[in-house]
Amino acid sequence: MAVCARDRTVLICQKGNPSSTLRRARLAKTVAAHPDSYRYAIRECLPQLPALRSDLRAIYLAFAGLVPERPLPAIDVVFGARTSGGTASGDRQVIGLEVTCPPGTTPEQFRTTMRGFFAHETVHTWQDGDTPVKLADFLLGQALTEGVADYLATLVTGAIPRPERDAWARPQEASLWQAFQRDREAIRGGGDINRLVASPRFRRWFANCGSAPEGWPCEAGYWIGMRIAEAYVARASDKRAAIRELIELRDPGAILKASGYGMQAGQATYPPSIVNDAPLTYPASLPTR
């Protein structure tokens, strides 16, 4: 686990694809605009990173037992421009400390957050990008891409990601599934990816932290995908093979059908807040993970 920082200043240090390195001018402008956030992360959370090596080791040992054929990525912990808590490529995950350690974060909260990122982003290093099959069923493909990562993170950490979102979603699961299906069908069939991610029907479920529908938690689509993944493995006779199939995600629609998820949701009704077709206001671009 590489840690990149400098005393009193912030250094971007990302050992991945050079095209993914944040522009220095943008980083400098962001640091200047939010100096207290960076100071807090440097002062309070940066010194805690060495103690997290044992957590990372435990997570990687769990993954090695679960999917031994998969390589475990290197990790860089960096300071970026507050655009991403975690990103992943084929052999590396990068975690932004200024995002995972906002002012007021306690040591226990920081540990929980980092454990979740270690696990979630590891799964993303094994997944393919936006394949034609995923783009053709974009909302479901996105839900399973993120939901599978959350599901496997739950297996190796023993903690459900964002428990407050889970507590909000479970009592209204059937209604949420009906709403998800409605939005899924509305944007299904592929098309320009920028148009898809800008759609209010997509932004109802993803890329909406700070702009989620009123009363909703951030990125409820992750939770839908996690529940489909749970159902798929539960119905499979070979659990390990099912997990491998979830990671490969060759056909999101086939995964959903085989999972049986949503079979009892047909009697659900849409909550008024979900049915409302009034235009929603969302950011125009999709931030990185």
176-203: average pLDDT: 93
pLDDT at 6 over 60: no
- Domain of residue 252, residue span: 132-275
The answer as to whether 98 is a domain residue is yes
Same domain for 122 and 143: no
Range with the poorest average pLDDT among 2-6, 108-112, 135-139, 176-180: 2-6
98-123: average pLDDT: 97
- Residue 207's pLDDT is 93
The domain tally of the chain equals 2
Same domain for 248 and 232: yes
Same domain for 113 and 174: no
The answer as to whether 79 is a domain residue is yes
Same domain for 193 and 222: yes
Could you give the 3-state DSSP secondary structure of residue 167? helix
pLDDT at 187 over 90: yes
Q: Count CA within 13 A, CB hemisphere, residue 259.
A: 26
More confident residue, 35 or 89: 35
Same domain for 32 and 157: no
Is 0.85 surpassed by the pTM of this model? no
Tokens 């999917």, located at residue: 67
**DSSP calls for 236-264:** -SSHHHHHHHHHH-S-HHHHHHHHTTTTT
Same domain for 105 and 42: yes
Same domain for 167 and 42: no
- Residue 2's pLDDT is 57
- Residue 30's pLDDT is 92
Phi/psi of residue 3, nearest 5 degrees: -120, 130
Q: Which tens digit of pLDDT belongs to each residue from 215-269?
A: 999 999 999 999 999 999 999 999 999 999 999 999 999 999 999 998 854 333 3
- Residue 192's pLDDT is 85
Same domain for 144 and 121: no
- Residue 84's pLDDT is 80
Same domain for 201 and 265: yes
Question: What whole-number distance in Å separates Cα of residue 115 and Cα of residue 57?
Answer: 10
Same domain for 139 and 94: no
The answer as to whether 282 is a domain residue is no
| 267 beta partners | none
Q: Cα torsion at 15, 18, 22, 23 (round to 10°)?
A: 130
Last residue of a domain, one of 103, 126, 149: 126
* Cβ pair 167, 247 in contact under 8 A: no
- Residue 287's pLDDT is 32
pLDDT at 9 over 60: no
Same domain for 268 and 150: yes
174-196: average pLDDT: 92
Last residue of a domain, one of 126, 153, 170: 126
The answer as to whether 254 is a domain residue is yes
Q: Cα torsion at 218, 19, 75, 149 (round to 10°)?
A: 40
Q: Which tens digit of pLDDT belongs to each residue from 96-108?
A: 999 999 999 999 9
The answer as to whether 284 is a domain residue is no
Same domain for 58 and 105: yes
Q: Which tens digit of pLDDT belongs to each residue from 56-86?
A: 999 999 999 999 999 999 999 999 888 788 8
Mean pLDDT of the chain: 85
Phi/psi of residue 287, nearest 5 degrees: -70, 160
Last residue of a domain, one of 126, 154, 185: 126
The answer as to whether 285 is a domain residue is no
155-180: average pLDDT: 97
The answer as to whether 288 is a domain residue is no
pLDDT at 31 over 60: yes
